Amino acid sequence: MSVTQTGEFGLIARITARLGAGPAAPFGPGDDAAVVVAPDGRVVATTDALVAGRHFRQDWTGPVDVGHRAAAANLADVAAMGAAPTALLVALCTPPDLPVAWVDGLADGLAAEAALVGVRVVGGDVSASPTLTVVVTALGDLAGAAPVTRAGARPGDTVAMAGRVGHAAAGLTVLSRGFRSPKLLVDAYRRPQVPYAAGPEAAVLGATAMIDVSDGLVADVGHLATASRVAVDLRRDAFPMPGPLRNAAEALGVDPYDWILAGGDDHPLVATFPDGTLLPEHWQVVGEVREGSGVTVDGKPHLGPPGWDHLRGT
Amino acid sequence: MSVTQTGEFGLIARITARLGAGPAAPFGPGDDAAVVVAPDGRVVATTDALVAGRHFRQDWTGPVDVGHRAAAANLADVAAMGAAPTALLVALCTPPDLPVAWVDGLADGLAAEAALVGVRVVGGDVSASPTLTVVVTALGDLAGAAPVTRAGARPGDTVAMAGRVGHAAAGLTVLSRGFRSPKLLVDAYRRPQVPYAAGPEAAVLGATAMIDVSDGLVADVGHLATASRVAVDLRRDAFPMPGPLRNAAEALGVDPYDWILAGGDDHPLVATFPDGTLLPEHWQVVGEVREGSGVTVDGKPHLGPPGWDHLRGT
């Protein structure tokens, strides 16, 4: 059965049923707009699109995975402000012949990723389009803390990272060469493991700046450096190089540091902290903030690809 | 110059510059997420997509108009909850060869429509896609009032409408027959005139239910009736029939009530009020709530097209 056979309102009813209902959003889905709690008196908001053929290939990424990834990309942006997510909204643009089962899977993936942080999809929109597109909006609450922007890093600060990096990029390379394993890497590409709780934690620990790495470590840390008007030096050997990553790189003839320094989609959080801040173990020190501009690796310019430009595709 | 030549970050910088900056969103655009005021402690949130070739034709609707329409569709949903808009976010999915000037126009239209209600675009995302798609998210504040949902209408309530209806549908018919006038109707299709302030006003006046008419009057009032478990009877002669509408209908051989009863895109607000509520002049009484289910016109079933299904295209 295709979405055209279900029709707009049939499809919305079907999605809504799968998403379940709860106390977080007493008026959504099903009304003109959702009403979401914002106890802090401010709301954090971000929106990100996943386009079939650009951000995912339907033969590599099933609908449940697309749901996980679309939710994760946005929830990570909320965490990177130091906020806790409160709700998701989703706009689905779908070809007329898309199987309804695909939409079921998408709803399940969105709901499952949202459930990891205790929130739900509270509203959305479905439209016909020749290009399958999933646009998620995430909202979040700061719980009284100041938002942690990209702009507060100061020379002398420690640069630390929570979460994995390079795994998703390695998984994408594995898939693009026609392989389906190692599973650790392919799964990392399909479903990022985002350290959501580390975002508000960093705010409490006194982070001076923070960013979600979605386009590539050097590129995204570069955005933080630019916004803060500082330089950042990263230490190559500070990044863990697990066996499967090293082995896959060897087998595929790839420098694994290209995955680590330029790969996106794992959504680790990178934050800067005043020197001497006592950091929990899951915040790994990976570099330091210096006077100047730009990002260096072990004091030298990074010569590999910096990251992803969503319009140029490089 | 195309968006590919500008690149993702060049295009974002260009859009951001056009959108201006202001106190409403101190941290957006330009960070992982925006921070928006939510003084009420709750936030109203809604998202809607406009897809080229589905919701607009680039030869009929210029980029500034697409910006107005994309903003209006979402701001109207916020108003229909009884809330005042606080911010917009926009996700733009663009073909690589789209002229940058088109994006400039879109940003101008979004900013101009947002300015009508004193808000701004505070964040967003740009992605490449074969299909030009604009997905807007609107946020709003209830200022202490209870949200006006679709579900509170009671038998005996008065049904009233603020704003125009049928004009945009007439404009679309005019354009689809190859004409460019009457200007009033074509302009109504290109840029809806949404009675934003009437939304929070209805909440203060004690509205029991409210909806934004975007897919067609009978269809959307039908959603309100279903959610409230009531019937609604509309009075045909209660709807104003201005000269240009009547004349265009005659010239094109169309029943103008098809435009009024089934046309979308004008975004009037329809609300139900306890019988006897003193309504300002811009709230026009158009019917009443009865026991039962469904929507009738002058007591009889409406036999014309009810409205728009975004997946079936009818």
pLDDT in tens, B30-58: 688 999 999 999 999 999 999 999 888 88
Q: What pLDDT shows up at residue B27?
A: 46
Mention every residue, 6+ apart, whose C-beta is less than 8 A from residue A37: A24, A86, A141, B41, B42, B43
Whether B37 and B108 share a structural domain? yes
Nearest residue on chain A to B210, alpha-carbon basis: A32
Q: What pLDDT shows up at residue A9?
A: 81
Asked if residue A151 is part of any domain, the answer here is no
CATH number, residue B46: 3.30.1330.10
Asked if residue B210 is part of any domain, the answer here is yes
Is B54 close to A129, i.e. CB distance below 8 A? Answer: yes
Length reported for chain A: 314
Residue A225 has pLDDT above 60, yes or no: yes
Out of A25-29, A55-59, B172-176, least confident range: A25-29
Whether this prediction's pTM lies above 0.90 is answered by: yes
Contact present, B157 and B273 (Cβ < 8 Å) = yes
Whether A162 and A135 share a structural domain? no
* Closest alpha carbon to A138 in A70, A204, A56: A70
Portion 224-283 of A in contact with B at CB < 8 A: 227
> How many cross-chain Cβ pairs, A to B, lie less than 8 Å apart?
255
- Residue A161 pairs in a beta bridge with A270, A284
Strand segments, DSSP code E, in B52-111 are 84-94
Buried b (16+ CB within 10 A) or exposed e, B126-138: bbbbbbbbbbbbb
Q: What pLDDT shows up at residue A296?
A: 96
The ipTM estimated for the assembled molecules is: 0.92
Asked if residue B179 is part of any domain, the answer here is yes
Residue A187 has pLDDT above 50, yes or no: yes
Count the neighbouring beta carbons within 10 Å of the beta carbon of residue A80. Answer: 37
Split at pLDDT 50, 70, 90, the class of A26 is very low
Split at pLDDT 50, 70, 90, the class of A25 is very low
Residue A21 has pLDDT above 80, yes or no: no
**Chain B partners of A36 at a C-beta cutoff of 8 Å?**
42-45
Whether B110 and B213 share a structural domain? no
What 3-state DSSP class applies to B312? coil
| Residue at a domain's end among B111, B141, B171 | B141
Asked if residue A219 is part of any domain, the answer here is yes
Whether B56 and B167 share a structural domain? no
Strand segments, DSSP code E, in B52-145 are 84-94, 121-128, 133-141
Whether B284 and B184 share a structural domain? yes
- Measured CA to CA, the distance from residue A232 to residue B196 in angstroms comes to 47
Contact present, B91 and B127 (Cβ < 8 Å) = yes
Whether A88 and A59 share a structural domain? yes
pLDDT digits (tens, 9 = 90+) for B248-261: 999 999 999 999 99
Residue type at B46?
Answer: T
Residue type at A114?
Answer: A
- Pick the more confident residue, A19 or A68: A68
Mean pLDDT score across all residues of chain A: 92
Rounded to the nearest angstrom, the minimum Cα separation between B199 and chain A is 12
- The DSSP symbol for B236 reads G
- Measured CA to CA, the distance from residue A78 to residue B34 in angstroms comes to 9
Handedness of CA A237, A210, A172, A187 (dihedral sign): positive
Q: What pLDDT shows up at residue B308?
A: 64
Contact present, B215 and B274 (Cβ < 8 Å) = no
- Measured CA to CA, the distance from residue A197 to residue A79 in angstroms comes to 7
Asked if residue B107 is part of any domain, the answer here is yes
Find tokens 């008419």 and name the residue: B213
Residue A250 has pLDDT above 90, yes or no: yes
Whether B291 and B198 share a structural domain? yes
Rounded to the nearest angstrom, the minimum Cα separation between A227 and chain B is 9
| Residue at a domain's end among A141, A175, A197 | A141
Find tokens 């569709």 and name the residue: B73
Rounded to the nearest angstrom, the minimum Cα separation between A3 and chain B is 7
Q: What pLDDT shows up at residue A313?
A: 59
**Chain A partners of B151 at a C-beta cutoff of 8 Å?**
31
Whether A26 and A116 share a structural domain? yes
Rounded to the nearest angstrom, the minimum Cα separation between A144 and chain B is 12
**Chain B partners of A44 at a C-beta cutoff of 8 Å?**
33-36
Q: What pLDDT shows up at residue B312?
A: 67
What 3-state DSSP class applies to B276? coil
Asked if residue A168 is part of any domain, the answer here is yes
Q: Which two tokens mark B35?
A: 């921070």
- B182 lies in which domain range? 158-301
Instruction: Report the phi/psi class of residue A104: left, alpha or beta, with left for phi > 0 and alpha for psi in -120 to 50.
Output: alpha
User: Residue B47: which of A51, A89, A128 has the nearest Cβ?
Assistant: A89
Residue A311 has pLDDT above 90, yes or no: no
Asked if residue A23 is part of any domain, the answer here is yes
Q: How many domains does one find in chain B?
A: 2
Interface contact B45, partner A, CB < 8 A: yes
| Residue at a domain's end among B108, B141, B174 | B141
Q: What pLDDT shows up at residue A69?
A: 96
Whether B131 and B219 share a structural domain? no
- Measured CA to CA, the distance from residue B88 to residue A296 in angstroms comes to 36
Interface contact A39, partner B, CB < 8 A: yes
Is A4 close to B311, i.e. CB distance below 8 A? Answer: yes
Mean pLDDT score, A10-38: 73
Whether A184 and A98 share a structural domain? no
- In chain B, the percentage of residues whose pLDDT exceeds 90 is 79
Whether B214 and B264 share a structural domain? yes
- Measured CA to CA, the distance from residue A192 to residue B155 in angstroms comes to 51
pLDDT digits (tens, 9 = 90+) for A95-121: 999 999 999 999 999 999 999 999 999
Contact present, B210 and B269 (Cβ < 8 Å) = yes
CATH number, residue B273: 3.90.650.10
Interface contact A90, partner B, CB < 8 A: yes
Split at pLDDT 50, 70, 90, the class of A264 is confident
Residue A27 has pLDDT above 60, yes or no: no
Nearest residue on chain A to B96, alpha-carbon basis: A311
Residue A24 has pLDDT above 60, yes or no: no
Contact present, B54 and A129 (Cβ < 8 Å) = yes
Q: What pLDDT shows up at residue A19?
A: 82
Q: In chain B, which residues have pLDDT < 50?
A: 23-27
Whether B179 and B102 share a structural domain? no
**Chain A partners of B53 at a C-beta cutoff of 8 Å?**
130
Asked if residue B231 is part of any domain, the answer here is yes
**Chain A partners of B13 at a C-beta cutoff of 8 Å?**
none
Contact present, B279 and B160 (Cβ < 8 Å) = yes
